[in-house]
Amino acid sequence: MKCQRCGKCCEDTRMELSAKDIRRLEKAGYRKDEFAQHDSEGIWRLRNSEGICSFLNPSSRECNVYELRPVGCYLYPVNLSPEGGVVIDDACPAAGTVDGGEKKKKGVLLRHQLRMIDANRQR
């Protein structure tokens, strides 16, 4: 895909984090309670600060941890529909640049990521 780095997907983010995502960011020196919070279902998600992901630079609209970003951010705009099918979120202006091969590959990774997140849920 050809991300336009518009930062739209970083607004009011609810991006789910795996334990691996959290460990990678902690290892780089970030504090979990500053970049993440868990929801009522025990799922860790990126934390917003003033309506945007706490890692997004508000002036440049660039991600401060792009190379270390959560797997879900890498996979976006590939997503799962409520019925469980692999879909592309057309809210992303670059949605049309995701080809069939990428959609399929990212769909497999996304299902794996969500299984891991579910297994690590704080119950």
Dist CA 7 CA 16 (whole Å)? 17
Residue 98 CB, shortest distance to ligand SF4, in Å, is 10
71 binds ligand SF4 (CB under 6 A): no
Number of residues that bind ligand SF4 (CB under 6 A): 12
78 binds ligand SF4 (CB under 6 A): no
94 binds ligand SF4 (CB under 6 A): yes
Dist CA 81 CA 79 (whole Å)? 7
Contact 9, 107 (CB under 8 A): no
> Exposure string (b/e) for 40-56, b if CB count within 10 Å is 16 or more?
eeebbbbbbeeebbbbb
Stretch that binds ligand SF4, among 2-10, 34-42, 101-109, 114-122 (CB under 6 A): 2-10
* Binding-site ranges for ligand SF4 (CB under 6 A): 3-9, 76-77, 92-94
